[in-house]
Amino acid sequence: MPITGAARIAGIMGWPVSHSRSPALHGFWLAEYGIDGAYVPLAVPPDRLEQALRALPALGFRGCNLTIPHKQAALKIMDRVDPFARSIGAMNTVVVTPDGELEGSNTDVFGFRENLREQAPAWRASAGPAVVLGAGGGARAVIAALIAAGVGEIRLVNRSPDHAEALAGDLATPETRITVHPWQQRAEVLAGAGILVNTTSLGMDKEPPLDLDLRALPESAVVVDIVYVPLETGLLAAARRRGNPCVDGLGMLLHQGRPGFAAWFGVAPEVTPALRQAMLATLAGSR
């Protein structure tokens, strides 16, 4: 829809930025809700990030998203940062306040929680320990969300033990124990689990498959894959065959966009089947 001189503007900074799905996501919502606004890709090299972020208020931007490689560096430039972004050490959303300050947040935590709530509404933190595979950026958001939900024990399995130990040291709380396990033990630690989350890139298109024996996993355990290309990963297909409730990764991607859109454009957007279809079409053949 055409925009006017009064249009609200937001965007996404990345380097490169051309791979980002966020313009398609926010563009869908802008059209859906008939909003006089625009969401634009902003190719910003790392050495100009501070300059670009500080220019947002002067340019009248409502804010922006951040993608690779800016998610960590931007933290130091914000005037305020939410507790999740602080503990995770990465942020993806900037809101410009009316007085021109920059507020940073991490909405991947919200995205994971909302997607889980939508696709596995019966899951409870009391169902049993969580098993998380992977210790990268996605794992940090997932683990922060599981801690916030009240999970008492998280079994963290990663190829590189030092990455897992660092994550556990950064995120463990008095209420939530994070135990670190070698990659070779990934099948054994499934015993008694209430939820299993794959946050590694294994199973993604053009990556090796995730080799995991699910026999020890209770059939009641929720299985989540945050990989979303393909939508039905090998892990989800195997879990579905044995009757586990399954949650795909597309919803996390879509839900993480909601807080930013609401702050910038003044409408709380919904994740609908039509949005999922539109985004699946943009993902087809990509990774």
Ligand X SMILES: NC(=O)c1ccc[n+]([C@@H]2O[C@H](COP(=O)([O-])OP(=O)(O)OC[C@H]3O[C@@H](n4cnc5c(N)ncnc54)[C@H](OP(=O)(O)O)[C@@H]3O)[C@@H](O)[C@H]2O)c1
Residues that bind ligand X (CB under 6 A): 108, 111, 134-139, 158-160, 163, 199-202, 204, 208, 226-228, 249, 252-253, 256
Tell me if 14 sits within 8 A of 20, measured CB to CB.
Answer: yes
Phi, psi angles (nearest 5°) of residue 40: -120, 145
* DSSP-based three-state secondary structure for 31: helix
In the complex with ligand X, the residue whose CB is nearer, 57 or 161, is: 161
CA separation for the pair 157, 148 (Å, rounded): 20
Instruction: Choose among 63, 67, 118: nearest CA to 92.
Output: 67
Report in angstroms how near the CB of residue 228 gets to ligand X at its nearest: 5
Query: In the complex, which residue's CB is closest to ligand X?
Result: 136
In the complex with ligand X, the residue whose CB is nearer, 42 or 227, is: 227
Instruction: Choose among 96, 66, 64, 65: nearest CA to 79.
Output: 96
Report in angstroms how near the CB of residue 115 gets to ligand X at its nearest: 8
In the complex with ligand X, the residue whose CB is nearer, 16 or 100, is: 16
Burial class from Cβ neighbours inside 10 Å (0-12, 13-18, 19+) for residue 219 reads: exposed
CA separation for the pair 131, 186 (Å, rounded): 9
CA separation for the pair 8, 95 (Å, rounded): 13
In the complex with ligand X, the residue whose CB is nearer, 56 or 106, is: 106
71 flagged as catalytic:
yes
If you write DSSP's letter for every residue of 47-98 in order, what string do you get? Answer: GGHHHHHHHHHHHTEEEEEE-TTSTTGGGGG-SEE-HHHHHHT---EEEE-T
Give the CA distances from residue 44 to residues 9, 11, 74, 154, in Å, rounded to whole numbers and listed in that order: 17, 11, 12, 37
Orientation angle between helical segments 108-119 and 137-149, nearest 10 degrees: 60
Catalytic entry in 8, 26, 62, 71: 71
Q: Provide the 10 A C-beta neighbour count for residue 19.
A: 11
In the complex with ligand X, the residue whose CB is nearer, 9 or 111, is: 111
Tell me if 77 sits within 8 A of 54, measured CB to CB.
Answer: yes
In the complex with ligand X, the residue whose CB is nearer, 101 or 207, is: 207
Helix (H) or strand (E) holding 278: helix 273-283
Provide the annotated active-site residues: 71
